[in-house]
Amino acid sequence: MAEQQAEKGSIQVIERMMSLLDVLADMPGPVSLKILAQRTGLHPSTAHRILAVMTGAALVERQDAGTYALGIRLLELGNIVKSRINIRQVALPYMQQLHELIGEAVNLGIRHEDEIIYVERTSSGSSLVRVVYLVGGRAPLHLTSVGKLFLAADGLADVRAYARRTGLPGKTPHSLTRLDALEKELDKIRRHELAYDNEEAEIGLRCIAAPVRNDEGQLVAGLSISAPSDRHNPDWVRPIKATANEISQALGFRQPLRT
């Protein structure tokens, strides 16, 4: 009985610590003990004791004015977590859900210099396996929906430098091999946060892609649906965007508030 009560007390302390951290995270600057107690519903003496322990562990920092702020240890722990995040592992459950919803292949690609590398894929039993979309497969940025997302994130000078380096080679009659056509396409992608491959990498294959962002808002991957042209569905816009956003949130991304 005593052991159960001790365990219950320990859990309660952890819950109170978390409530204090949540309030500190929500406030733009250092917070007084009075406000912390009011926001958490804790008695000031209880809040003070817990804050003292958290200050000793550098989870909280006590300011000269007797106010409190989040401590440096949280930053250290956050950086450790961030360094251990594996985008493939985070994304795969969401990719599988999307695959079950639409029944087509879902791909995750990252940028490496002037190419896209596909790091994860959910196979579609009803479509042919395309070499370019195998895990580990590579493709030029301008020929793929995922690659175009990364080019759209670049500035004009960087896009033109890419065009000079690569020469914008084509693989099909639909490939964008002219800089003006590519720039026009990238403008659309920036406006809609969505990219397409209309048989530009391979005849008979169409793709749609949405961006995946990290906790700093940086584009770190692209999520795409690939399917034979006759099965491509314009209604995929909503689920591909929603899934990419879910993965982004799992990586720590938070949509900025619009004013």
Q: Are residues 19 and 111 in the same domain?
A: no
Q: Name the residue range of residue 73's domain.
A: 12-82
**The pair of three-digit structure tokens given for residue 242, joined into one six-digit string:** 């929603």
Q: Are residues 41 and 160 in the same domain?
A: no
Q: Are residues 41 and 123 in the same domain?
A: no
pTM to 2 decimal places: 0.67
Q: Is residue 29 situated within a structural domain?
A: yes
Q: What's the pLDDT at 9?
A: 62
The CA-based dihedral angle spanning residues 159, 132, 210, 199, taken in that order and rounded to the nearest 10 degrees: 80
Q: For each of the chain's 259 residues, which pLDDT tens digit applies?
A: 555 555 666 788 899 999 999 999 888 889 999 999 999 999 999 999 999 999 999 999 998 878 999 999 888 887 776 666 688 888 999 999 999 999 888 999 988 889 888 888 887 544 444 445 566 778 899 999 999 999 999 988 999 999 999 999 988 899 899 999 999 999 999 999 999 998 888 898 899 999 999 888 899 999 999 888 888 888 999 999 999 999 999 988 887 655 4
**The pair of three-digit structure tokens given for residue 137, joined into one six-digit string:** 């497969």
Burial 134-144 (b: 16+ CB within 10 A, else e): eeebebbbbbb
Q: Is residue 7 situated within a structural domain?
A: no
Q: What's the pLDDT at 83?
A: 64
Tell me how many domains the chain contains. Answer: 2
Cα separation, 143 vs 161, in Å, equals: 16
Q: Are residues 58 and 145 in the same domain?
A: no
Q: Are residues 69 and 91 in the same domain?
A: no
Show which of 82, 111, 126 is a domain's final residue: 82
| First CA to last CA distance, the chain | 54
Cα separation, 106 vs 226, in Å, equals: 6
Q: Are residues 37 and 93 in the same domain?
A: no
Q: Which residues contact 166 (CB under 8 A, 6 or more apart)?
A: 114, 140, 142
